Amino acid sequence: MMAQAIDRIGETTDRLGESPVWSARKQCLYWVDSLAGILHRLELATGNRREMAVPAPVGSFGLCEDGSLVLGTRRVRPT
């Protein structure tokens, strides 16, 4: 069995960081902090990172052919 190297690529401290997805079109890595309802985007070439908050915990997400994203979230009930 070959040893694997793991490098940390950011300084985020997600509550539950998961679902890394690479976008070849945009040359960036997406992942979510599922519990906090935050979608992260990291451009590896520049190191630029964006956080996009959504109003509910994120269960899943995916990249669309047109470059947009689709998110699956828990239903938010009006208060």
CB 72 within 8 A of CB 59: yes
Q: Is 6 exposed, middle or buried (0-12, 13-18, 19+ CB in 10 A)?
A: exposed
pLDDT category at 67 given cuts 50, 70, 90 is confident
Where do the structural domains in the chain lie, given as residue ranges?
A: 17-63
CB 39 within 8 A of CB 28: no
Model's pTM, two decimal places?
0.80
Give the amino acid at 48. Answer: N
Distance, CA of 16 to CA of 79 (rounded, Å): 25
Confidence (pLDDT) at 77: 65
